[in-house]
Amino acid sequence: MSLKDKNIVIGVCGSIAAYKIATLIRLLVKEQANVQVIMTPDAQHFITPLTLATLSKNPVHSTYFDEQSGTWHNHVDIGLNADLLLIAPATANTISKMANGGCDNLLLATYLSARCTVMFAPAMDLDMWLHPATQRNVSLLQTYGNVLIEPENGELASGLIGQGRLAEPEEILLRIQQFFTDDLPLKGKKALVSAGPTYEAIDPVRYIGNHSSGKMGYAIAERLVTLGADVTLVSGPTALQVSKNINRIDVQSAKDMLDACEQYFDNADIVVMSAAVADYTPTTVADQKIKKKEDHFQIELTKTVDILAHLGQKKAATQSLVGFALETNNELENALGKLKRKNLDFIVLNSMQDKGAGFAHDTNKITIINRDGNKNEFALKSKTEVAKDLCQVITKHQHTVNPSS
């Protein structure tokens, strides 16, 4: 959704994570929001006002009075004109002052004057975040009606690993978009997405797998959330990260993925099966590592359950069921066969013959085919853009099969 003409005030505090705000401002400006930045004095040690002023296209405020220009920065007007006040990164010091009514700089005065919703995204070291005083202050702010954007887990500036990292700019943007939109096209819809490979164990250390990165499925899940859907992502092994508001279920094998998908399928309005599921699995799994002895070694394989076909048999008329076909030859013929055989509403065809498409790439080139055989071909795009194209088709289908929803 567009944030056009929304007045968003960003309060930047003194944290190494302040560099991320440059990216966030670019994203907000791209969405046509009006961005006003207020920096605490310490924030200017980490990123310059000039950088943020250039990106926001507005002067950055830090003091009540600019001696050079003679301009008075009216904190009351700033607070009253804001549609949203976001404080990010919010340090332990600023959180403490917000919780207890401190008012020793322009940002805090604006906070106390604001009548709009206030979001705060903490950033600090692990032990500071976990300290009872910080947790108490965060809880107090939430009782005031302020919205917490939780810090993420990961490597911190101190070298420790744990919770305390500022949420990524894309995550913060998503939260802002959701705040401003009550009429998202998929609001109230439940979506199930599968992504990534499956690993079929041979012994405790070896497996049969494939080269799927999961990037396409993850992009689809993120886009469905942006459109308002309640998303469950069933993911095979991958190093990819996902937004906190996506219900991620991690699985290993085709059987694990089948069980997880069955659990969420009946309640899902939208089902997108983009995972690369193994067609075969070892009939028996060795209890111990198989030693390299024979010159030739055979493994007996058993066909796995075709998850997409299995779900297609249970599909309701009000569900949108989407499958993927990654083909190397006879692409269209094979995709159409899968579409009909598995009772899909749409199949997304991509070919290994297309440069930049398929596994591991950040781009993809797809053709979407509906159950009537109608094709919609798209140029090579980033997987994020591909997800937008696909989700637009899904949204239209949902409004067709559920016109009153």
Tell me the average pLDDT across 85-104.
Answer: 95
Band of residue 227 on the pLDDT scale cut at 50, 70, 90: confident
The confidence score (pLDDT) of residue 191 equals 98
The confidence score (pLDDT) of residue 394 equals 97
Tell me the average pLDDT across 190-215.
Answer: 95
Told to judge if 210 belongs to the known catalytic residues of this protein, a careful annotator would answer: yes
The amino acid present at 297, given as its one-letter code, is F
The confidence score (pLDDT) of residue 24 equals 96
Please tell me whether residue 27 adopts helix, strand or coil conformation.
Answer: helix
Band of residue 329 on the pLDDT scale cut at 50, 70, 90: confident
Across the chain, how many H-helices and E-strands are there?
A: 13, 23
- Name all domains of the chain by residue range, CATH numbers in brackets: 7-180 (3.40.50.1950), 190-283+299-401 (3.40.50.10300)
Per-residue model confidence as pLDDT tens digits over 1-42: 568 889 999 999 999 999 999 999 999 999 889 999 999 999
The confidence score (pLDDT) of residue 359 equals 63
Burial class (CB in 10 A: 0-12, 13-18, 19+), 148: middle
Least reliable range by pLDDT among 57-61, 124-128, 351-355: 351-355
The confidence score (pLDDT) of residue 385 equals 85
Residue 14 CB neighbour total at 10 angstroms: 18
Sign of CA dihedral 351, 357, 359, 363: negative
Nearest to 150 by CA among 132, 130, 133: 130
DSSP 159: S
pTM, rounded to two decimals: 0.63
Q: Which of 79-83, 309-313, 387-391 has the highest mean pLDDT?
A: 309-313
| 160: pLDDT strictly greater than 90 | no
CA angle 269, 386, 336 (to 5 degrees): 70
Rounded-to-integer distance, Cα 269 and Cα 260, Å:
16
Residue 183 CB neighbour total at 10 angstroms: 7
Q: Which residue bears the tokens 């401003």?
A: 180
How much of the chain is in helix, strand and coil states, percent to nearest 5?
35, 25, 40
Per-residue model confidence as pLDDT tens digits over 98-128: 999 999 999 999 999 888 889 999 999 988 9
Catalytic choice (210, 247, 334, 402):
210
Tell me the average pLDDT across 176-188.
Answer: 81
Structure-model confidence comparison of residues 352 and 120, the more confident one:
120
Q: Which stretches does DSSP call E strand in 5-160?
A: 7-12, 34-39, 65-66, 71-72, 84-90, 117-122, 147-148, 152-155
The pLDDT mean for the chain works out to: 90
Please tell me whether residue 376 adopts helix, strand or coil conformation.
Answer: strand
The confidence score (pLDDT) of residue 86 equals 97
| 332: pLDDT strictly greater than 80 | yes
Nearest to 119 by CA among 75, 164, 171, 74: 171
Structure tokens at 152: 């993420």
Band of residue 180 on the pLDDT scale cut at 50, 70, 90: confident
The confidence score (pLDDT) of residue 262 equals 97
Rounded-to-integer distance, Cα 72 and Cα 114, Å:
18
